[in-house]
Amino acid sequence: MPVNVTIIGSGFAALAAIRTLRRMDAGRSLAVTVIAPQARFVYLPSLIWVPSGTRRGSDLIVPLEDFFARMGVTFHQAECLGLREGGRIVVTTQGEVRNDALLIASGASYLRKAPGIDHTLNPCSGIQPAERFRAWLQRWRGGRIAMGFAGNPDEPSAVRGGPLFEFLFCLHTQLLRENRRESCKLTFFSPMAEPGKRLGPHAVRQLLGAMERRNIATRLGEKIVAFREDRVVTAGGEIKADVTLFIPGMTGSPWFGNCGVPLSPGGFFIADEACRVVGTERVWVAGDAGSFPGPEWRAKQAHMAELQAEAAAINLIHTLHGRPSHVTFRNELICIVDSLDRGTLVSRFSRFNLMLPALKSMHWVKKFLETKTLHRYR
């Protein structure tokens, strides 16, 4: 009888897990099934270039049928509804899928509790919002734009602030190129007094300094009360805006609550250092869906999702073969904060924190990483 492995998701973590499983399973003794709404991969890090027209949404989509065929993967097109029998059965909108081992790499969702949040655009949530902002910019003739992010108060690591900095700096460069910067007031806001603190204390100073040099106003440490069509209302006053880009804190997907396992305070699957879901057998998690142990600055990003997925896949294989399964991943934070023509490399490890000046070469490194990843799955 074949050993059935199910992977939920089609993002960075899921695809890294597939590659790792097949690398260790050269004889393809595992029957791998992937569950996802669509057989496609979207390269979300490059959404920052959509508003300027440097990238179109279609440039960032990779149909996965060929990749799945090369990897010998069965695709089950459906949305997840929950788990049964301790994870041995995945309940979906298209029936139940049984497994001998499960890896959850489905990503997460965004909090939408703030009053009036429908008046905002979350440019990090997918291609459509980024393209809507692009279309709006083409019609816009000047005024005010507010851009900000927040976290999950119950899960400090569930924040995605880095891309907002990139959308902000890229927009500044775009408006300069189009000779429209003087007609626009840009305001960055966050309820955090030190936004970007996970990147390191020096990074916060450098990022805020970069905003000051670009004449970008800041409103920090003020609780968000509500969003209106033409303004952001905070505990410290109002920020007038023709459009508001806002990346809220992250939380688990709604179906996580239908799995019969305890979740973290922020709504994620609780994982140990080996990416096992606490309270289960032969169930692992990787990427944004999990709440992992680690330093207070740990972050949810594609790079970490791939590291977690590799560790989870190795442990899954070892477990199925009756071997010790204690492979862990290294907590690290590596990103390039892009500004359309330059990039600032930020890295943080347990022993050191580095932030380089903005360099043209780093912009090209970011583009190279995009090309490398898209080519891998095409």
Split into its structural domains, the chain has a count of 2
- In this structure, the answer to whether residues 52 and 137 fall within a common structural domain is no
Closest CA to 288 of 125, 85, 143: 125
244 part of a folded domain: yes
- In this structure, the answer to whether residues 220 and 127 fall within a common structural domain is yes
Listed residues 233, 250, 267: the one ending a domain:
250
Element (H, E) at 165: helix 162-177
- In this structure, the answer to whether residues 132 and 230 fall within a common structural domain is yes
pLDDT of residue 165: 96
Tell me how far apart the alpha carbons of residues 115 and 178 are, in angstroms, rounded to a whole number.
34
Domain that holds residue 217: 112-250
- In this structure, the answer to whether residues 119 and 49 fall within a common structural domain is no
168 part of a folded domain: yes
- In this structure, the answer to whether residues 128 and 245 fall within a common structural domain is yes
358 part of a folded domain: no
Are 48 and 131 spatial neighbours (Cβ–Cβ below 8 Å)?
no
Listed residues 305, 320, 335: the one ending a domain:
320
256 part of a folded domain: yes
pLDDT of residue 332: 92
Q: How far apart are the first and last CA of the chain?
A: 32
pLDDT of residue 338: 97
274 part of a folded domain: yes
pTM summary value? 0.95
Digit-by-digit pLDDT tens for the chain (378 residues) are 789 999 999 999 999 999 999 999 988 999 999 999 999 999 999 999 999 999 999 999 999 999 999 999 999 999 999 999 999 999 999 999 999 999 999 999 999 999 999 999 999 999 999 999 999 999 999 999 999 999 999 999 999 989 999 999 999 999 999 999 999 999 999 999 999 888 888 888 999 999 999 999 999 999 999 999 999 999 999 999 999 999 999 999 999 999 999 999 999 999 999 999 999 999 999 999 999 999 888 889 999 999 999 999 999 999 999 998 899 999 999 999 999 999 999 999 888 888 889 999 999 999 999 999 999 999
pLDDT of residue 230: 97
Tell me how far apart the alpha carbons of residues 314 and 110 are, in angstroms, rounded to a whole number.
30
- In this structure, the answer to whether residues 84 and 142 fall within a common structural domain is no
369 part of a folded domain: no
What are the structure tokens assigned to 175, written together? Answer: 């408006």
- In this structure, the answer to whether residues 183 and 101 fall within a common structural domain is no
CATH of the domain at 271: 3.50.50.60
Q: In which residue are the tokens 């080519």 written? A: 375
Q: Which amino acid, 27? A: G
- CB neighbour burial string for 317-336, b if at least 16 within 10 angstroms, e if fewer: bbbbeeeebebebebbbebb
- In this structure, the answer to whether residues 217 and 172 fall within a common structural domain is yes
Tell me how far apart the alpha carbons of residues 353 and 252 are, in angstroms, rounded to a whole number.
29
Listed residues 320, 341, 373: the one ending a domain:
320
pLDDT of residue 350: 82
153 part of a folded domain: yes
- In this structure, the answer to whether residues 225 and 245 fall within a common structural domain is yes
- In this structure, the answer to whether residues 298 and 204 fall within a common structural domain is no
- In this structure, the answer to whether residues 196 and 261 fall within a common structural domain is no
Alpha helices in 240-352 (DSSP H): 302-320
- In this structure, the answer to whether residues 181 and 153 fall within a common structural domain is yes
264 part of a folded domain: yes
Tell me how far apart the alpha carbons of residues 310 and 127 are, in angstroms, rounded to a whole number.
27
